[in-house]
Structure 1
Amino acid sequence: MPNNGLLFVANAAKAHSLFTKVNQFVKNVLYIKINNSCGNLLPILNKQIVNVYNNAILQNTDVRLMLKPIQPAEIIKTNHMIDLIFYESDLAKQVEDLKQSVNNIETGCKVQVVDSQKDEETIEAEKVKTYEYVAVGGTFDRLHNGHKILLSQAALRSTKHLTVGVTDVNMIQSKVLWELIEPVEKRIKGILDFLTDINPDLEYNVEPIQDLYGPTKSDPRYELIIVSEETKRGAIKINEEREKNGLRPLDVYVIGLAADVTPQRSAEEESKISSSNQRMRLLGTVLREPVPNPNIPRRPYVIGLAGGIASGKSNIAEKLKSKGAAIVNCDIIAHELYKPGLPLNQTLSEVFGGHIITDNGEVDRRKLGQIVFSDKDQLEKLNQIVWPAVIEEAQRRIKALGEEGYKVVVMEAAVMVRAKWYKYCHQLWSVIIPPNEAVKRLQERNNLSEDEARKRVEVQPSNLEQVAAANIVFSPYWSYEYTQSQIDKAWDHLQQYLYNDTSK
């Protein structure tokens, strides 16, 4: 299948219907270029932006409706190499000239005709007002068709300059699964790649912003801001600030939300097309392909399971056990090493005081916890004592389980990331939930005050750290069924990976 295609349309009103005929024949990017010299195209393009991108929601193709109609002797530039050209049958006499006008074309590019509809589509015309300086803002994580509508409508209304504010730092931390949001540099690159494809003639300023205002509250050149239905209040606040600064309020153009009609959309996900839905659908899938670990035996295949306190990783481990994995719980190993008569008890008593030992000779974990979870130095001291003993015992048990015939062993450890124990594993799978939810769960589970629970959560590696090195991420924050679906996806992929690895 060709990677990238370019569809030439004779009449802008047909763009939507012709796109539906050809998108299935292109693997990656499909451009739509209009060859229409009639009057004012803006009202038609305004409507077709919505039609095309809403229709593309169920497609995997990256569709890009180019906003400039073909000009005489124009060189058509695209950011992606074209290896298939479609043309509407009305353009048959011009097709060779059109092909020659494409500058980024693959040698041997094929050309294919698309039958035109006999009757032109009727499109309600909405007057489109244009401005020199236009602004739009958003997170723009994993650029989707809702984003494309927003950016295209902004570019359509700009005659000179478009600024895109890309939310970053503290602004993204209220988002669902914000830890999975792409780095801002990658988001900016994706926006520029799209905008320069749909209209290369505008000036673009795509920059990170740390508040909702960006440059719009103080720059008098801006005239219009594009917002979605859910961000209208932001435009009101920006105009309030502009009035305080003696500037004319911005005109506001509101974009309707695109419905997410994905058949597999779960009840936990939003009804609109959103980056949050996309991030939720990443749970249980491979975020980073595993790299072979030559420092440990190939079998059993060891999955390191990380996650902060009260994140639900033990529940995830049980679900993996039901799939056939053996479990080595490093937290349990540590607790077993606290038993009376073992060398670790004597060491801990000498370092942290005899009062942490109960009358029957066991370590009182609550008393020990009160010491180490309120003092990072004390926690580090405890780790340096306990970690070597735990990982040594864990490795012994993993080897024994492999000898028993287990193909997959899950090594579960709260300190997996901080101790870097994933270097003893073939893959790292991490479990995350929002910190406030972890505090709440810990209060209920361990009968702690909110302050005690928060201290314990805060000394753990952050969710961002848990995700940074992970091959797969889970979040048991929603329903039982939604968590199970994540496990099913991860396990199915693991089985396929192990099968392929064995077949090599």
Structure 2
Amino acid sequence: MSSVINPAYLFSELETMAKNGLVFVANTAKLHNLVTKAIKSEKNILYIKINSESGNLLPILSKQIVNIYSNASSQNTDVRLMLKPIKSGERIQTNHAIDLILYESELDKNIEELKHSVNNLETGCKVKSFDSQISDNVSMVENVKTYEYVAVGGTFDRLHNGHKILLSQAALRATKHVTVGVTDVNMIKSKVLWELIEPVEKRIKGVLDFLTDINPDLEYKVEPIQDLYGPTKSDPRYELIVTSEETQRGGIKINEKREENGLRPLDTYVIGLAKDLAIRHSAEEETKVSSSNQRMRLLGTLLKEPEPNPRIPSRPYVIGLAGGIASGKSNIAEKLKLKGAAVINCDLIAHDLYKPGLPLNRTLSEAFGGHIITENGEVDRRKLGQIVFSDKNELERLNQIVWPAVIEETQRRIKALGQEGYEVVVMEAAVMVRAKWYHYCHQLWAVIIPPNEAIKRLQERNNLSEEEARQRVEAQVSNSEQVAAANIVFSPYWSYEYTQSQIDKAWDHLQIYLDTKTTK
């Protein structure tokens, strides 16, 4: 039988080996300390199975759900506390193959039986024992009341430890069925950076994967919901709803609706908010573990790998910079210029091409009327804007006239800048996505802010009425469309420092990427 080995040696030895691990714990008073050590050996998922002879594990599990996930919030490992009680002779099933089993030394006499109870082991799975002399300070546990039908709801974007607490407490209290409502469509649009929220199908898949991992014996119904109530407003089978402190008011509204429908109000179990223990925590972020924080931390990072673009030369490396009107796109371009990039503003190119005596000036006059030309022969952009931003057909007509001339001039300037020695050229254009000019770029970076903020900024900057500003913003490609096409997304909605940190991350990654391409 394996002997107890030095934990420091164990985790140093296994740090580069383990992908998914399963840790068996006997002494729950040592659980947090043991799991903290075990996390150091895992790259992906760490399953935790409490192997206790205690007759009623529910109170212990309820307490440890909070302890484990709250303390794991600063780790990258996907921790999963298994809730299904394993009876003698039963198999432990996991959705992901296990290549490392860790066990507390107190379980030496049981480890062979435990190992063979795991149904999804990788060939060559390693088995190691470890111990901890440090006990956790475990306070009194609560009694756990169970119900046949339990409901819980949320966005569940990029499943985090706060979500895991919510889902685990629901599954722990269910004896038969758990319904999870996953917010969709209009319900997500009030969220911070909602454009970065994962598709509802992906969120549903993540919830199901987690729930069937922690207890595969329950029935699960995970479905999109378009309102607060979902099926709970009309189904008499539901008995309990699990909420967070933040969503407790929603539970109250559900019960009000049930009473209107002649149904018994649901019991409510409310969990506290888990604190975000991330080492790098900006002042703009929430103090709780939240999907909003995770989405904010995606800003300036690579959301999808750039694909090779055989349409254009490999040098200079062209970054398309998209962003709606008043989004702060030009400010981002200036910051990139300070990093060493050359910047081409396609909007300014268009203005140059409008100048008196040039073919485009005459073409616009013929197309939209001589009244858009000033006494000096300049195109009156405000008059032209009033025409095109109030009529989509007129806007499309303007685009078909202007776009070919602009992209031709842009390509000429990119080539010239490359000959001057610039390694990176930023091609800035408000119509980047609509015109599909990113096909002339190696990567697309997009700048987004909430539409209402863009309207406010545009009113102040251009001295427009709210209606005029709204017309211009709504005539643009939406934030969602820009995010869907982008490799990297910025949002200069918060402080100057927070915007700069996004630029720094993106630029540093770009330099590493270009260095890698050079050495290949």
Q: TM-score, normalised by structure 2?
A: 0.96
Distance 1:120 1:276 in 2: 31
Q: CA deviation at 1:16?
A: 2.1
Whether 1:155 aligns to 2:171 is: yes
Q: CA deviation at 1:420?
A: 0.1
Distance 1:40 1:166 in 2: 31
Task: Give the counterpart of 2:58 among 24, 36, 42.
Answer: 42
Task: Give the counterpart of 1:307 among 313, 323, 332.
Answer: 323
> Are the aligned partners of 1:305 and 1:430 in contact in 2 as well (CA < 8 Å)?
yes
Whether 1:142 aligns to 2:172 is: no
Corresponding residue SS for 1:150: helix
Instruction: Write out per-residue CA displacement over residues 435-480 of structure 1, whole angstroms, 9 at most, x where no aligned residue.
Output: 0000000000000000000000001000001101100000000000
What does 1:387-402 align with in structure 2 at a 5 Å threshold?
387-402=403-418
In structure 2, the partner of 1:345 is 361
Corresponding residue SS for 1:58: coil
Q: CA deviation at 1:362?
A: 1.0
Moved more, 423-432 or 117-126: 117-126
Instruction: Write out per-residue CA displacement over residues 468-496 of structure 1, whole angstroms, 9 at most, x where no aligned residue.
Output: 11000000000000000000000000000
Task: Give the counterpart of 1:100 among 111, 116, 125.
Answer: 116
Distance 1:19 1:169 in 2: 38
Distance 2:299 2:502 in 1: 6
Distance 1:355 1:295 in 2: 40
Whether 1:5 aligns to 2:21 is: yes
Task: Give the counterpart of 1:417 among 433, 443, 446.
Answer: 433
Task: Give the counterpart of 1:187 among 188, 203, 222.
Answer: 203
Q: CA deviation at 1:38?
A: 1.6
Which runs of 5 or more residues in structure 1 are unaligned? none
Whether 1:265 aligns to 2:281 is: yes
Distance 1:243 1:303 in 2: 57
In structure 1, the partner of 2:244 is 228
Distance 1:468 1:230 in 2: 30
Distance 1:452 1:255 in 2: 46
Whether 1:472 aligns to 2:491 is: no
Moved more, 61-70 or 313-322: 61-70
Distance 1:347 1:96 in 2: 83
Kindly provide the amino acid, as one letter, of the partner of residue 450 in structure 1: E
Corresponding residue SS for 1:290: coil
> Are the aligned partners of 1:85 and 1:111 in contact in 2 as well (CA < 8 Å)?
yes
Which runs of 5 or more residues in structure 2 are unaligned? 1-15
What does 1:4-153 align with in structure 2 at a 5 Å threshold?
4-117=20-133, 122-153=138-169
Distance 2:55 2:29 in 1: 13
**RMSD over aligned Cα, in angstroms?**
1.0
- Residue identity over aligned pairs, in percent, reads 80
Kindly provide the amino acid, as one letter, of the partner of residue 458 in structure 2: L
Corresponding residue SS for 1:111: strand
> Are the aligned partners of 1:36 and 1:70 in contact in 2 as well (CA < 8 Å)?
no
Task: Give the counterpart of 2:453 among 427, 437, 444.
Answer: 437
Corresponding residue SS for 2:35: helix
> Are the aligned partners of 2:147 and 2:174 in contact in 1 as well (CA < 8 Å)?
yes
Q: TM-score, normalised by structure 1?
A: 0.99
Q: CA deviation at 1:68?
A: 2.1
What does 1:169-184 align with in structure 2 at a 5 Å threshold?
169-184=185-200
What does 1:329-408 align with in structure 2 at a 5 Å threshold?
329-408=345-424
Moved more, 421-430 or 117-126: 117-126
Which portions of structure 1, spanning 4 or more consecutive aligned residues, are displaced by more than 6 angstroms?
A: none
Distance 2:514 2:273 in 1: 42
Moved more, 118-127 or 24-33: 118-127
In structure 1, the partner of 2:511 is 495
Corresponding residue SS for 1:25: coil
> Are the aligned partners of 2:323 and 2:429 in contact in 1 as well (CA < 8 Å)?
yes
How many residues in Structure 1 have an aligned counterpart in Structure 2?
504
